[in-house]
Structure 1
Amino acid sequence: MHATRESKAPYAVQSSRGRLHAEPEDPTRTPWQRDRDRIIHSRAFRRLQYKTQVFVFHEGDHFRTRLTHSIEVAQIARSLARRLRLDEDLAEALALAHDLGHPPFGHAGEEALDGVMRPWGGFDHNAQSLKHVTLLERRYAGFDGLNLSWETLEGLAKHNGPVRRPAPYLLRYNATHDLELASHASAEAQVAAIADDIAYNNHDLEDGIRARLFTLEEVAELPLPGRALEAVRAAHPEAPAGRAAPEMVRRVISAMIQDVAEETERRLAALKPASVEEIRAAPAPVVAFSPPMAAANAEVRAFLFDRMYRHFRVNRSTQKSKRVVQMLFSLLHGGPQMLPEEWRARAGEPGSAATAELVGDYIAGMTDRFALEEYRRLTDPHVGG
């Protein structure tokens, strides 16, 4: 059952503060259903299909991409929002949009782009997500971006908590459209953020087993997945690893969702918020893991860091990916005349700060596949431009 305006909790978002560019209300959709639809129809969302998290897109058809991850995060966010009587549509829109700003090649691409852009303020994927939906998408005749609601923009900007040191673009945008960066975001945004954590770690466990970076038995040495696997084997003693692993992950996700719901209900009972403004003004997030689950999640994260993100196969891919991003930036920053026409028309002088920001936007929007193709076009004399 959807949380209607009557059934939503008083601390949920009840109504929208509107959009930067005024538009008539939609007769059939809430503001956040409209936001969700604009996000899904955006070019940046479609490109997530060919942006990967750990594995480059061509390594296998069944590894998660940014697109499948975003859909999985949205499913978890809706489940939590329903349990907590929040606005499901807002939570879903935020979950679907949270990765729009990620560059190609996952964390490797982000680290490389942040490194080359450090003299001009660095690169932050959260600020880049906001930039995509407020500036870089050019689908509408009356404005740049998607003209999303204030609540969706707020959630994108600060779903990880108050922003103490805003990235350059976020600082510029906030000067014209105040997102109240010093406060917490709505509970819906906090739900989207923790849904990202739940999906990310668990699905990396499943992908790591599939890629044979570690075994199901090694994962089972961790307390939380270990207990889940014991339950799977008790219920399905003959299940092969290919079925036991996703069953284990499914149970861990369910346990985490239940834990977040119960911990959040405890925090809400203590805070007794009567409005979303009291959620924003709270001294700490209201949506969170319990301390034992936070510790268990940290153990999973540490295992993945050691056994997956620093595996020699992933390291090789990481280094190659970083080199592609670094070379693309160097060539295009120093030679903006090589940019495609629509980008070249907006570039500044070679080597300038304006050109650095533009080239950063261009690279951040690339898929893994396009980045590799562009690298070949710019570096291989046998490949046409």
Structure 2
Amino acid sequence: MTSILMPYACKPEESKGRLYPENNQRSLNRNNFQRDRDRIIHSKAFRKLDSKTQVFINIDSSSCFRTRLTHSLEVSQIARTIARSMSLSEDLSEAIALAHDLGHAPFGHAGQEEINLSIKNLNMNIGAFEHNLQGLRIVDVLENRYINFNGLNLCFETREGILKHCSKQDAKKLGDIGARFIDGTNPSLEAQLVDYADEIAYNTHDIDDGLNYGLIELKDLKDLYIFGKCFYDIKHLHCEFDEKILILETIRSLINVLVTDLISNSTKIIKQINPKNVYDVRVKCNMIRFSEPIENYLNEIKSFLYLKLYRNDVVLDAAARGRHIIKTLFEIYMNDPRLLPKESLCRYSDHIHQQIVDYISSMTDRDAISCFKSFNR
């Protein structure tokens, strides 16, 4: 049964369309946003997310820490729940969530920072690297799966959701997809809710992974209001259970608190603003957000994770190793671009500097490590 969407939800039959016209005869059982989701799942860039890490770099493959793939799946699950509860497009939310990290470089945010440093230091004649822009570039140009066009030829609404951030300078080069960064309008509610689903997912799973890796301690987390409240409420009811189970139940409870608040508060805002259609969503204020108390509690968690986890010596040391690998690879390929794989050199006609950035940024952590070792034997 097809769910009934609100008037201001994005509807697949009302999409602004794709970059290249297509014959839909082979997709009678799927709507436009479902086709986008399927194209993303079958893409090479999506599969590579399995070996691109979030926070913990160079973790043994037998570990259970999050990768960008598992993170994207968690974001998708949370986004679908929110969209379904608010009668928004679950299909579009899922597609955006699955694609939102496609443009990330190896070695997390440290990798992106080092790519930009290499671009600057090596005087590469291209703009700065930004994972949202690279994600759009991947789905628009770099994926090579179809006879009639480059990229995945996704719908405007999916591409718009991938592009979370963009400078006005870059936006001017993107046409319609960058217009909202110039004129100050908003993306769809589906794109907005995926941003929050991303925030819920990475904050809660970084707590989980940080505890598992021994970089943060439960006693410190208990001092955080919202985490402490969830933990003690569960412990009061189930004190006989092992602490590890209580922690997992706490994280599950925390996700539920955040999702429930986001749905409740956003529904209230939408009711007050009363958008009549998607156009109203775009020209009025952002309507998806947490209540102020929950926002404050979540900020407390983010500050804690920044100090205790992201700035931890173990994490920083691993990031430094990743940065050294990327720096070295850039120097090698800039000195001799002929070392790039042939398919990278001949598939499209961009500037050689752009091809080097595309190739290195597309690497998984393991790809980059293996390539680095091959040049240093």
Counterpart secondary structure, 2:63: coil
Which 5+ residue runs of structure 2 have no aligned equivalent?
none
Tell me if structure 1 keeps the 8 A contact 2:93–2:190: yes
1:238 CA displacement: 2.1
1:379 CA displacement: 2.4
Normalized against structure 2, the TM-score is what? 0.93
**Alpha-carbon separation, structure 1, partners of 2:177 and 2:310:** 37
Tell me if structure 1 keeps the 8 A contact 2:45–2:102: yes
2:149 aligned with 1:143: yes
Q: 1:83 aligns with which of 62, 85, 110?
A: 85
Task: State how 1:294-333 maps to structure 2 within 5 Å.
Answer: 294-333=295-334
- Report the CA distance shift for 1:134/1:291 in structure 2 as closer, same or farther (over 3 A): same
- 2:63 corresponding residue in structure 1: 61
- 1:33 corresponding residue in structure 2: 34
Counterpart secondary structure, 1:58: coil
**Alpha-carbon separation, structure 1, partners of 2:5 and 2:347:** 46
- 1:165 corresponding residue in structure 2: 168
Deviation by residue 1:128-183 (Cα, 9 ceiling, x = unmatched): 110110000000011000000111111112x45xx44354xx543x23x5453332
Counterpart secondary structure, 2:201: helix
Q: 1:190 aligns with which of 180, 189, 192?
A: 192
Task: State how 1:189-208 maps to structure 2 within 5 Å.
Answer: 189-208=191-210
Tell me if structure 1 keeps the 8 A contact 2:172–2:178: no
RMSD: 1.7
**Alpha-carbon separation, structure 1, partners of 2:249 and 2:302:** 19
Amino acid at match of 1:222: L
1:356 CA displacement: 2.2
Tell me if structure 2 keeps the 8 A contact 1:94–1:156: yes
**Alpha-carbon separation, structure 1, partners of 2:317 and 2:177:** 43
**Alpha-carbon separation, structure 2, partners of 1:61 and 1:171:** 43
Task: State how 1:261-280 maps to structure 2 within 5 Å.
Answer: 261-280=263-282
- 1:220 corresponding residue in structure 2: 222
Tell me if structure 2 keeps the 8 A contact 1:347–1:355: no
- Report the CA distance shift for 1:319/1:164 in structure 2 as closer, same or farther (over 3 A): closer
1:108 CA displacement: 1.3
**Alpha-carbon separation, structure 2, partners of 1:347 and 1:262:** 47
Amino acid at match of 1:333: M
**Alpha-carbon separation, structure 2, partners of 1:302 and 1:256:** 17
Deviation by residue 1:284-309 (Cα, 9 ceiling, x = unmatched): 31111111111111111111111111
**Alpha-carbon separation, structure 2, partners of 1:123 and 1:178:** 18
Tell me if structure 2 keeps the 8 A contact 1:133–1:148: yes
The ranges of structure 1 where at least 4 consecutive aligned residues each deviate by more than 4 angstroms after the TM superposition are none
- 1:374 corresponding residue in structure 2: 371
**Alpha-carbon separation, structure 2, partners of 1:217 and 1:248:** 14
Identity %: 38
Tell me if structure 1 keeps the 8 A contact 2:156–2:177: no
Tell me if structure 2 keeps the 8 A contact 1:216–1:241: no
1:249 CA displacement: 0.7
Tell me if structure 2 keeps the 8 A contact 1:150–1:179: no
Tell me if structure 2 keeps the 8 A contact 1:134–1:144: yes
Amino acid at match of 1:140: Y
Moved more, 49-58 or 187-196: 49-58
**Alpha-carbon separation, structure 2, partners of 1:166 and 1:261:** 34
- 1:210 corresponding residue in structure 2: 212
Tell me if structure 2 keeps the 8 A contact 1:116–1:122: no
**Alpha-carbon separation, structure 1, partners of 2:58 and 2:42:** 22
**Alpha-carbon separation, structure 1, partners of 2:366 and 2:47:** 13
**Alpha-carbon separation, structure 1, partners of 2:327 and 2:136:** 23
- 2:341 corresponding residue in structure 1: 340
1:116 CA displacement: 1.6
Amino acid at match of 1:377: S
- 2:352 corresponding residue in structure 1: 355
**Alpha-carbon separation, structure 2, partners of 1:84 and 1:141:** 38
Q: 1:154 aligns with which of 145, 157, 160?
A: 160
Task: State how 1:40-119 maps to structure 2 within 5 Å.
Answer: 40-59=41-60, 61-118=63-120
**Alpha-carbon separation, structure 2, partners of 1:171 and 1:96:** 26
Counterpart secondary structure, 2:288: coil
Counterpart secondary structure, 2:179: coil
Amino acid at match of 2:299: A
1:265 CA displacement: 1.0
**Alpha-carbon separation, structure 1, partners of 2:186 and 2:48:** 30
Which 5+ residue runs of structure 1 have no aligned equivalent?
381-385
- 1:12 corresponding residue in structure 2: 9
Counterpart secondary structure, 2:104: coil
**Alpha-carbon separation, structure 1, partners of 2:59 and 2:207:** 19
**Alpha-carbon separation, structure 1, partners of 2:265 and 2:117:** 38
**Alpha-carbon separation, structure 1, partners of 2:23 and 2:42:** 20
Tell me if structure 1 keeps the 8 A contact 2:112–2:129: yes
